[in-house]
Amino acid sequence: MNSKRNVYLDMKSIEEAKKILFDQFEHHVTKVQTLDVVKAKGRVLAKPAIAAISSPNFHAAAMDGIAVDAKVTFGANEEAPICLVPGKTAFWVNTGHAMPQGTNAVIMIEHLNIIDDNSVQIEAPVFPWQHVRKMGEDIVATQLLFPRGHRINSYSLGALLSGGIFTVAVYKQPKVLIIPTGSELKQWQEIRIDQLKPGDVVESNSIVLGGLCEDYGAQFDCHAMLKDNLETIKKAVETAAKQGYDMICIIGGSSAGSEDFAKPVISSLGVVYVHGVTMMPGKPVMFGNVFDTPIFGIPGYPVSAIVAFEQFAGPLLLNMQKLHQKQEIKVMVSPARKIASKLGQEEFLRVKIGSVDGKLISSQLPRGSGSITTLTEADGIIRIPQNSEGISEKQSVEAQLLRPLSSIENTIVITGSHDNTLDLIADQIKALNGDISISSSHVGSMGGLMAIKKGACHMAGAHLLDPEDGSYNISYIKKYLPDQKVWVVNLVMRDQGLIVQKTNPKQIQSIEDLKDRSLSFINRQTGSGTRILLDYKLKTLGISPDMIQGYENDEYTHLSVAVAVLSGRADAGLGIHAAARALDLDFIPVVTEEYDLIIPDRFYKTRQVQVLLETIHTKDFQDRVLSLGGYSTNHTGRIMYQPDA
């Protein structure tokens, strides 16, 4: 086994790397093939398309009625109508029929006074070629319909067929071989969920990149999974290059680890042009040339793999078949809060976007390059330049849209405390009102109030306990939003408690047990209602936070707390019953709390918010909530506080 590490020191910027890529492969264009027109949608013409016939190729009636020689109608008026004889001076025609010999106009049927089978009366003349599609009106034989380089769309198909062009010369679709590598990877067809072991990873990158190949107009094959072995991977690459693939992508093995073999494979068979690009995610990407075939080393983390492909491999595939580069739709957005970034790397930051008071507001998603859900949930991507340390919340920045702007403008932005029922609302609303979406960001209850204060959301989810009187949210609204008129609507009552491992092996019974230093705890973030509840309980018990092992370790959602317990990273965490139940963990109740939606008055009567409120009143929604466990819907939809209360 080759244990040499492939440390990349000479990283290139995205622009430098793209220039190198296209300098080397710009003239790699696929061969030309002849296709039936009906199979050519989306392809690029390699030769001009010249009409073989005219369209229409005869004079055709454009209306239902009678065809006439226009001069026989001259002089007709209401005072002196003219009678025409069908079969002699007039001929019945339907739209699209060939005009009878000697006729050059059509009188619409609604302008006729039919006397009998042998006589038709008209009260107005027609002019020559009225209501007639003249031969060649649309297309004239020998006319250039489309030049080479034209991409055939649905409309083009009709024009080509109408012009008598039934086959076209187009550039072939590039064919890509995707080679997934990694000893820890398991292909989905071979997996039994109940037999997955720690360290097993479901291989998904090859499927994702295959889909991206199709998005960029290419075909693809997936090689069988290869273990981390230099000679095996090398043989697969050499065989693929000699089989005539237009591109090869090795997934995994592009980083600097001792078992990352992409670089030694490429360098042993050809040349590596770039290894390492100053972007995040996707930094380890590499590309080179093997037997005159472009080859990429694609990082193994899913988001890194996607960004690397879209920045380099995808554009090259478009160029190979003479397709134009994709045009990104960009808008200006305002970050909901300050965004820090590392100097020296251009960052592709995934964000949710919502329109609040006519202003597009972005909220960043987790940055992990292994979290593909940050792309499935994202509405857009902000590119932070490599010479920037971040973005101020007062700064407007450009974002590339991943969803249509119309969809984003019809999205309800909910910021604040996490609750599983928000996902149910999103699903229920989408099913009943497909044009409305929900975007929820989990920043804690206090974070939600601050987002309302800044005008960065339509509503906030909160469960802030007032230790003085046991009420929820109202005192905090009066303190932190004194100038805001808001409505408070109960979403659910829910059980909060300690989430512990199945069968509770550490025999944890209460919060008081957490001061045992042999126990590890996972907390919620500062400003969350759960953190405030914990601090209140600790204070009443006389327990100092520094007495709890792991108090400073936090997560942003209840499910993340439950996962930390399930994985053994923590023995316990404070969270909702539904999260424990979802992962089959044990739960020790601490309190039943009120989880409310806080809605600024200016949004309360909007259609979107009213649809949401109608949805939470429905039996279907409430039944789904109760099925999660640990919830009560007795107060769901009840107004707990309103303006001027």
| pTM score over 0.95 | no
Token pair 């004194």 in the structure block, residue: 482
Domain C-terminal end among 384, 409, 434: 409
Domain C-terminal end among 133, 159, 191: 133
Domain span at residue 380 reads: 330-409
Residue 636 and residue 489 share a domain: yes
Q: 48: domain CATH number?
A: 3.90.105.10
Residue 610 and residue 487 share a domain: yes
Domain C-terminal end among 272, 291, 320: 320
Helices 230-242 and 262-269 sit at what angle, rounded to 10 degrees? 50
In a domain, 417, yes or no: no
Number of domains in the chain: 5
CB 316 within 8 A of CB 21: yes
In a domain, 423, yes or no: no
pLDDT digits (tens, 9 = 90+) for 214-250: 999 999 999 999 998 999 999 999 999 999 999 999 9
Residue 193 and residue 151 share a domain: no
Residue 595 and residue 554 share a domain: yes
Token pair 């601090």 in the structure block, residue: 535
Q: 92: domain CATH number?
A: 2.170.190.11
Give the model's pLDDT for residue 256.
58
Give the model's pLDDT for residue 431.
87
pLDDT digits (tens, 9 = 90+) for 375-396: 888 999 999 999 998 898 888 9
In a domain, 5, yes or no: no
Residue 194 and residue 238 share a domain: yes
In a domain, 598, yes or no: yes
Residue 254 and residue 195 share a domain: yes
Residue 147 and residue 184 share a domain: no
In a domain, 187, yes or no: yes
262 burial type by CB count under 10 A (0-12 exposed, 13-18 middle, 19+ buried)? buried
Q: 273: domain CATH number?
A: 3.40.980.10
Residue 142 and residue 127 share a domain: no
Residue 487 and residue 375 share a domain: no
Question: Among 525, 417, 493, which residue's Cα sits nearest to residue 461?
Answer: 417
In a domain, 261, yes or no: yes
Q: Are strands 286-290 and 293-298 parallel, antiparallel or unpaired?
A: antiparallel
* Non-local CB neighbours of 153 within 8 Å, separated by 6+ positions: 41, 42
Residue 50 and residue 92 share a domain: no
Residue 206 and residue 305 share a domain: yes
Distance of CA 343 to the CA centre of its chain: 28
Cα torsion through 469, 475, 476, 481, rounded to 10: 180
CB 459 within 8 A of CB 603: yes
In a domain, 420, yes or no: no
Give the model's pLDDT for residue 3.
45
- Tokens encoding 497: 């408690």
Low-confidence residues of the chain, pLDDT below 50? 1-3
Q: 404: domain CATH number?
A: 2.40.340.10
Cα–Cα dist 99/626, whole Å: 72
Residue 314 and residue 334 share a domain: no
